[in-house]
Amino acid sequence: MPTERPIIGIDPGVTGAVAILRGDDLLLFDAPVDAIRRGGKERRVLNPMRMASVLRVYAAGASVAYIEQVAAHAVHGRTQGASSMFNFGRGYGLWLGILAACDIPFVEVPASVWKPPMVGRGADKAASRYRAAQLFPECSDEFDRVKDDGRAEAALIAWFGRHQETRRRP
């Protein structure tokens, strides 16, 4: 039986991650970020050079990447602020550009498409961590902390992508 080509799952936020699924093996990488200081405040921003390194080194020969398609959304009845939306969109665009530069074909998939079959409609991030631990018990400690939701969602996106790719094969 031929070896399965890897599938990449990307949760594109600053707290997101990259998951590379090769057969039964799962590699996880937190989104590469730097802390910068502006106006006395520290904030985290994605590091494009390190983002590219993750994909170049670990995703050679990938058949496809699945990336969560993002959009501004309401939180507690309020929409995100302009600065927040800009930064989120900037990160998403960086991932798309890096995928293209690395010649990795990609599929943009909204959470409303990948989440229901993986964790159910309206499920929270804790449900994503729980489901990822079920699917990848050898990596369950990678999903233990609340802040590990990006890893969990990247892993679930990769799993979703694998099943989409399996259906596309003749």
Instruction: Render pLDDT for 10-52 as a digit per residue (tens, 0 to 9).
Output: 999 899 999 999 988 999 999 999 998 888 888 889 999 999 9
CA of residue 19 relative to chain centroid, distance: 7
In the CATH scheme, what is the homologous superfamily, with its name and number, of domain 7-168? Ribonuclease H-like superfamily/Ribonuclease H (3.30.420.10)
Domain ranges in the chain are 7-168
CA distances (Å), origin 54, targets 44, 45, 164: 18, 16, 23
Whether residue 56 is predicted with pLDDT greater than 80 in this model: the reply is: yes
List Cα–Cα distances, 68 to 33, 42, 161, in angstroms: 18, 26, 11
Confidence at residue 70, expressed as pLDDT on a 0 to 100 scale: 85
d(CA 169, CA 166): 6
Q: What is the mean pLDDT of residues 150-156?
A: 97
Pairing status of strand 41-46 against strand 78-79: unpaired
Flag whether pLDDT at 151 surpasses 90: yes
Per-residue pLDDT of 71-127, as tens digits, reads: 755 454 555 566 665 666 788 999 999 999 998 999 999 999 999 999 998 889 999
Predicted pLDDT at 68:
95
Mean pLDDT of the chain, nearest integer: 87
Question: Is 120 strand, coil or helix?
Answer: coil
